[in-house]
Structure 1
C-alpha cells in the first residue's frame, strides 16, 4: 500500500477515535451537552466508563445504585448539579464532595439514608440540598460549615423528632426550609433566629402542639407558612406579629377551637389562609374569627368548609353563616 495512503488512513482513524472519545457516554445513560442522565433500573454501579470529564449536570435516578464515592465524583470535577434520587443509597462517605468544589445543587430524594457523617456538606459551596423521603432520624449541626451559602434545604419525609438550633444557625442565607412530614413535636425557641432571609417555611405533617410567641420574630421576609396537619391546640396572639409580607398561611387539620384576637390583623390584601379541618367551638370566644371571616371572605380558601364542631346545636354550621345571637354575643352585650 502506498505510504501516503497508509498515513492518511492512520490519521483519519485517530481523528475518528478522538471524536468518538470526546462524545462518549456511559452505557445505560444519555448525554446531551454537559449533561448526563442515567435512569435505567438495571443500573447497579456508578457509570465510570465513558463519563465525559466536562460533565456539569449528572442525574442518576430510579436505579439500583447503592454506592457512590469521592473517587467516582473526581471523574467530573466541573460538576455543579448532582441528582441521585430514588436509588438504593443507604450511606454516604464523609469525603463524598471533596473533588467537586463547584457543586451547588445536590438532590438525594427517595433513598435509604439513615445517618449522614459530620462535615459531609462542608467541601462544596452548596446552594440547594434536598434530602427528602429518606430515613434520617437525627440532623447534625456538624453537617455544614459556619455561614453556609445554602439557600434551599429540604428535609421533608424523614423521621426527625427535632432539628438543632445550632444547625439552622449555620444557614444565614436560607430562603426555603422544608421540614414537613417528620415527627417534630416542638421547635427550639431560637431555632429560626438566624434566618433573616427565610421566605418559605413548611412544617406541615408534624406533631407540633404549640408555638412560642417569638417563634418567627426574626423571619420578617416570610411569605409562605405551612402549619397544616399538626396538633396545634392554640396559637399565641402575637406569633405572626411583624410578618407584614405573609401571603399564605395554612392552619388546616389542627386542633384549634378558637383564634386569639388580633392574630390575622394587618395582613396585606393578597393574604390567603386555610382554616378547614379544625374543631371550631362556636361560642362567644369565636367572636374574633367570626368577625374576621365575614369581613375577609376573599382571603379565605374553602370558606364554606370552616364549620362548627360544637356546641351540638351548631354542629356543621358554617361559621360565616352564624348570627351574633347564636354565638351568644348579644347576651354578653346586654349584661
Structure 2
C-alpha cells in the first residue's frame, strides 16, 4: 500500500475515535448515541482546547469537566446547533464572550460550576432560552441584571459559593418564573425589604453560610410558595414574630448554627398552625439558647411538636451556667422558674 494513501487515514484516526460503526467522537471524549439524542463527555485533564474536531453535529448534551479548557466561543458551539445541555464545570474559564450562546437556540441548561469566573459581560445569557443556570463556586462579586433578557425563562439559578456581598435585586425583576434560588456560602449581610418581591413563584431559597444578622419582617411576604427555606450558618440573633406569615406550604426550615437566644411564641404558632404543612421539619439546634422564663415558648412548642424538630435533643441551653448543655426539652417547670 502506498504512503500517500495511508496519510489521510492516519489524520482521520488521530483526530477522531470511532463508536457505533461510522459515528465519530472527539479524542479524549466519550460519546453516547441513541435514537433520540447524542451525549458527549470530555473529562481528560490534558484537554486544553474545545473539542471541535469530530464533534457530532446532533449532540444534545455536552459535558467538559475537570480539564484545562480556558476558552470557549460562540464559533465553537456552532458545531452543536441542537445542544440542550452544556456542562462546563471545574475547568479554567475566567471569562465568557457576550455572544456565547447565539448558536445554540435550544439550550436550556448551562452549568459553569467551579471555574474562575469573576466578571461576565452584559447579554452573556440572553441568546438562549435557559431554564437552569449554575454559576456555583466561582469568583463572582457582582451580578449584572443585563446578563439575562427581560422575559427570562429561568426556573433554577445557583450563585452559591461566590463572593456576593449584596442580593442581586435588579436581576430578580427578570426572574418571575424562578422556583429555585441558591445564594448560599456568599458574603451577604442584608436581605432588604422587598428584595424577593418579584419571585412569587419561588419554592426553594438557600441563604445558608452567609453573614445575615437580621431579617426584615416582610422579607418573605411575597413568596407564598416557599417549601424549603435554608437560613442556617448565619449570624441571626432574633427573628421577627411575623417572619413566616403566609408561608403555608413550608416543609423545611433550617435555623441551626445561628445566634438565636430566644424565639417568639407568635413565630412558633405559625409553625404549628392548621395552615402549615403536616410534613414540616424545623432545625433549631446549635444556637445559644438562653434558658430563662423566655424560653418557655420554645419549651412548650417542643413538647407538642417534637416530631417536627430535627434533632430535637440537640436543642440545648447555652446559659445560665447551671443549665448549660441541657436539652431544652428536658427542662422542668422549676428550672424554668415557672
Residue of structure 2 in register with 1:323 after alignment? 332
Residue of structure 2 in register with 1:289 after alignment? 298
Residue of structure 1 in register with 2:268 after alignment? 264
Shift of 1:91: 0.7
Which among 49, 55, 58 is matched to residue 51 of structure 1? Answer: 55
Which among 65, 68, 88 is matched to residue 64 of structure 1? Answer: 68
Separation in 2 of the partners of 1:210 and 1:242?
A: 19
Mind listing any 5+ residue stretches in structure 1 that lack a counterpart? 1-18, 331-335
Separation in 2 of the partners of 1:264 and 1:124?
A: 44
Q: How many residue pairs get matched?
A: 312
Residue of structure 2 in register with 1:10 after alignment? none
Helix, strand or coil at the partner of 2:300: helix
Matches of residues 26-45 of structure 1 in structure 2 within 5 Å? Answer: 26-33=26-33, 34-45=38-49
Q: Deviations over 1:149-206 (max 9, x none)?
A: 0000000001110122110111000000000000000112111101111111000000
Residue of structure 2 in register with 1:194 after alignment? 198
Mind listing any 5+ residue stretches in structure 2 that lack a counterpart? 1-18
Residue of structure 1 in register with 2:77 after alignment? 73
Separation in 2 of the partners of 1:31 and 1:20?
A: 10
Residue of structure 2 in register with 1:311 after alignment? 320
Residue of structure 1 in register with 2:23 after alignment? 23
Which among 94, 97, 100 is matched to residue 96 of structure 1? Answer: 100
The structure with the largest alpha-carbon Rg is: 1
Helix, strand or coil at the partner of 2:31: strand
Residue of structure 2 in register with 1:237 after alignment? 241
Q: Deviations over 1:115-134 (max 9, x none)?
A: 11111111111000000011
Helix, strand or coil at the partner of 1:201: strand
Helix, strand or coil at the partner of 1:294: helix
Which among 135, 140, 145 is matched to residue 136 of structure 1? Answer: 140
Helix, strand or coil at the partner of 2:24: coil
Moved over 3 A (4+): 19-22
Which among 149, 155, 179 is matched to residue 151 of structure 1? Answer: 155
Separation in 2 of the partners of 1:226 and 1:264?
A: 17
Separation in 1 of the partners of 2:319 and 2:230?
A: 26
Separation in 2 of the partners of 1:90 and 1:273?
A: 39
Shift of 1:20: 8.9
TM-score (normalised: structure 1): 0.91
Separation in 1 of the partners of 2:195 and 2:117?
A: 24
Shift of 1:21: 9.6
Helix, strand or coil at the partner of 1:35: strand
Residue of structure 2 in register with 1:6 after alignment? none
Shift of 1:268: 2.5
Tell me, yes or no, if the aligned pair for 1:134 and 1:158 is still in contact at 8 Å: yes
Separation in 1 of the partners of 2:141 and 2:170?
A: 17
Tell me, yes or no, if the aligned pair for 1:109 and 1:132 is still in contact at 8 Å: yes
Tell me, yes or no, if the aligned pair for 1:169 and 1:192 is still in contact at 8 Å: no
Tell me, yes or no, if the aligned pair for 1:138 and 1:163 is still in contact at 8 Å: no
Task: Tell me, yes or no, if structure 1 residue 172 matches structure 2 residue 176.
Answer: yes
Task: Tell me, yes or no, if structure 1 residue 275 matches structure 2 residue 279.
Answer: no
